[in-house]
């Protein structure tokens, strides 16, 4: 089981669009849907996107997800200061073993 | 609204067994589409999937921890638990329990299951030190 690959950091100014990538392989991302979690400082992770591009109730439509092949992406449009957080992609492999990305720390400049 | 709450010792001695419990309220652990997971996070680091269990007792574990991990479900108490044996300082982390929801999906008429952790506990900090 290998960790999914995310950039360790990303930054943008308020109002801009930012994307976070998540790279995996043929036995995880390519085969299974990807979920994204947002972790605000000092809090538990929160489900942000599930099944590649679905938003749970209450998640603003500024957040969107996509997947192609062995990679997935999270996009945030109209960045706001409260979006400053750590973001994690996650999926599972062919044996239903869970795997997270290393996390991306998003800074709102 | 389902809520999860972790509990257990905040300090464990090296070589001993870490034991945590997750109490579920607002829902039942005895739900066929719910899997019960543990995730941990060392200070300043990312999330690590530990494993999960279904109400039937079926488990999946992170291969890197499998030799030391046992996850159990206690339906009468509406709880599930984590035991991690032979702990070292590397096991010091915040431990989260979460509900991993299983949903049936269809793509081009092909049915499949997908999962996502939709409910999380607040986490409990565990330090391994003598």
Mean pLDDT by 10 residues, chain B (130 residues): 97 98 97 96 97 96 97 97 98 98 88 94 98
Find all residues with CB under 8 Å of A62, minimum gap 6, and list them: A76, A77, A78, A79, A80
Per-residue pLDDT tens for A17-73?
Answer: 999 999 999 999 999 999 999 999 999 999 999 999 999 999 999 999 999 999 999
For residue B66, the SS3 value is: coil
Q: Is A51 on the interface with B (CB under 8 A)?
A: yes
Nearest by CB to residue A96, choosing from B60, B120, B122, is B60
| DSSP track, B11-28 | EE-TTS-EEEEEEEESS-
Contacts of B100 in chain A (CB under 8 A): 98
Q: Distance of alpha carbon A6 from its chain centroid, rounded?
A: 9
């Amino acid at each position: 089981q290998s960790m999914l690959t995310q950039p360790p950091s990303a930054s943008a100014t308020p109002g801009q669009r930012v994307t976070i990538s998540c790279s995996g392989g043929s036995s995880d991302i390519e085969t299974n849907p990807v979920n994204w979690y947002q972790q605000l400082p000092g809090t538990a992770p929160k489900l942000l996107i599930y099944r590649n591009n679905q938003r749970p109730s209450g998640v603003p439509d500024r957040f969107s997800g996509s997947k192609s092949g062995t990679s997935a992406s999270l996009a945030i449009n109209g960045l706001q200061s409260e979006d400053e957080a750590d973001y994690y992609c996650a999926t599972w492999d062919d044996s239903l073993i869970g795997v997270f990305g290393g996390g991306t720390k998003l800074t709102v400049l | 609204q389902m809520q999860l709450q972790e509990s257990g010792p905040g300090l464990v001695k090296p070589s001993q067994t870490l034991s945590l419990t997750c109490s579920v309220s607002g829902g039942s652990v005895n739900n066929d589409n719910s899997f019960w997971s543990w995730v941990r996070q060392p200070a300043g680091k990312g999330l690590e999937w530990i494993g999960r269990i279904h109400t039937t007792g079926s488990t999946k574990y992170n291969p890197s921890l499998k030799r030391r991990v046992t996850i159990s479900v206690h339906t009468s108490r509406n709880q599930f638990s984590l035991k991690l044996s032979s702990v070292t300082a590397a096991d010091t982390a915040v431990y989260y329990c979460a509900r991993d929801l299983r949903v049936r999906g269809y793509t081009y008429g092909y049915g499949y299951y997908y999962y996502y952790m939709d409910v999380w506990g607040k986490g409990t900090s565990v330090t391994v030190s003598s």
